[in-house]
Amino acid sequence: MRNTELAKLGGLVGEWTMTMSDAWFLEPPGTEVPGTTTIEWLGESLLVVRSHFGGGEQEHSEMGLVIGRSDPNDAYVALYQDDRGVCRQFAMTFGGGHWTMTREDPDFHQRFIADVENDRIRGRWEASEDRGETWRKDFDLAFERA
């Protein structure tokens, strides 16, 4: 039986084309990096998100999320990993057309903020080096259902 609260994320399941843009670390300014994302169920209570960036002239990279829920704490959680060997835990909210993931760790704070529609997700990653006092945008992400 599918977890009732996780079932609310079912609209994310599927294949997506993705574009990373406006990244402070990409040269020249205006560079866009194409990618793909697959979101699928793992059992009845987890979602797995696999993203692949790059190709052509762009360096290839991969990242993934496992999204679950702590029912006793009434909270979504997301574990992030990428091909650099990074692993991070995020608190997550989802509802009303908005998706957020946040972490407040000793190294820095980070957040993902997105607007979700049936066939489109528009979001951005941001980071704070001063415990959330000021934020800088890392990059924008746009997803279109494939």
Domain of 132: which CATH number?
Answer: 2.40.128.20
As averages over each run of 10 residues, the pLDDT of the chain (146 residues) reads 93 96 89 95 96 76 96 96 95 97 96 97 97 95 98
Shortest CA distance to 124 belongs to which of 35, 24, 53? 24
Question: Alpha-carbon torsion 121, 17, 20, 86, what sign?
Answer: positive
Give the chain's domain count: 1
Domain that residue 25 falls in: 4-145
Q: Distance (Å, rounded) from C-alpha 31 to C-alpha 75?
A: 36
- Tell me the per-residue pLDDT of 30-65, one tens digit each, with 9 for 90 and over: 889 999 999 999 999 999 999 999 865 667 799 999
pTM value? 0.92
- The DSSP string of 115-126 is EE-SSEEEEEEE
Question: What percent of the chain stands above pLDDT 90?
Answer: 87
pLDDT number for residue 29: 87
DSSP 3-state of 5: helix
